[in-house]
Structure 1
Amino acid sequence: MREALTLRGNSALLTRANPLAKFAAVVLITLVLALSIDWVSASVALAGELLLFPLAGLTVQLLWQRGWPLILAAALGGWSTAILAPDRGRILLDVGIWSISSGSLELGVGFLLRGLAIALPAVLLMSCTDPTDLADALAQKAKLPHRFVLGTLAAMRLVGLMAEEWQTIGMARRARGVGSRGNPFQRIRATLGQSFGLMVQAIRRASRLAVTMEARGFGGARRTWARESTYSRLDLWVVLGGLAIASAAYSAAAGAGTWNLVFLVRQ
């Protein structure tokens, strides 16, 4: 709820755009990045995405707070690709069980940058989009089934509650002396137990919410809308901006000769 109120009071440019327009821009950028694993196209796309964050009223600190799992996953994926990919070119590092060559390093860096360039638009989209506006756009413009839309809205609303619930469960367990001490194996076991408790709590919340929404008529055939989802000239510029980033990424990679389709074997 606090995030929704923050988005309502945010006057940043991208927060005023229609959610479907922002989603279309994200799809255009992601499509180009999904076709090739090379560092040039990913670097250009990543640079263009970083320029968009001030337009959404976001900072680097907020980006890290909301996207650190994706950033760490991209870093781990890039490192794994660099050490597991077949050697090609000059050997840069050889420690016996694995080695890194110039070709595998280039592939790993490309995977890392591509992972970041794919993850950041999703973080950007969720950070500057109010869940209720997204639900309105999905139902009114995309004509998706009402129950699917309302389920998506409920899930997005519960994400923040699950984060708070995780902290609450953790503090309750530490008050009982669970998970606050012991060897690494015991701590991992305590974390798994806390995760199970969160899963149980999430199922209970979802069940209560589903019954409540059904009782209040959310599953009815006819619906009325408190707010109308509309398109504006800003939405056209948002889609064109996504197309421009995607085109620049492809053109730069094609011009540099690094464009490498993922479904073709590079000689």
Structure 2
Amino acid sequence: MQFKYKAYKNLLAELGRMDYVVELSEIAIKDFLKNLNNAGSPEQFLEQKCKEHNIWVSLDSSNTSYNQSILGYISGVYHLFEAFLYEMKEEYKLLTDGESINFNTETTKLNQIINYFKSKGRFNNVDYIPSYLIDIFEYYHGLRIYFSHKKTVSINEIKNKWEKANVHSNEELYAKYRINNSPKELNEVDFEDYFLFTQICKELALRISSLCYPDPDKLAISLKRFKKYENESEIIKRLEIYLLNEYAFVKEDDYDKSFLKSIFTHL
């Protein structure tokens, strides 16, 4: 089944806006560094640009400043994904007449969402979230924690998360996400890591959205208005059209057909 919460659509829109800014910045940085390296005197070139734009910076030949900016971008992506989880949780509550998923501080919000719906039997050998999505997400989440709260996570913890994520680095991953060599270690992260993380978040959010749909009996509570139509086939057809328009609902197997039937029987 494909089921897209509006929170998922909002995530795509927010990531799209962030991509625009980050990609323009990356183009500007690469262009600037190219001209800086080709200049006879990098110091004079930088001074000229500082005067031209009235922005004063010191020449830094290390990768530290660029690395920090990438970690900042990664942190921003994580915050947008976390906002998606909160929005989805509230949307789910509205669609299920008050059924609430309560977050706590014992584990990550992603794990809590997954565990909640595992208890409903939503995950099996066919419908599941691949380990590479979880492991790569957790690595970049660790980078976000390191960037924002260095005292709460150690370099060894980051390295362990990277090693777990790096197990999935292969030609198949590179081809799927159009990358060359990511995820990279903490001090080597670059724009490609930001690009990979945004794609991982999009795919992870889509899988969560599609696997964590409301139960049909709860969803039926908010769809009572469809009872006014004359017969079962018309009601089910209108339900399908409504769910397609509002939540991009797509039937993929016999269970999805029975899902519509179940909504109908609970109206």
Q: TM-score, with normalisation over the residues of structure 2?
A: 0.32
- Larger RCO, structure (CA 8 Å, separation 6 or more): 1
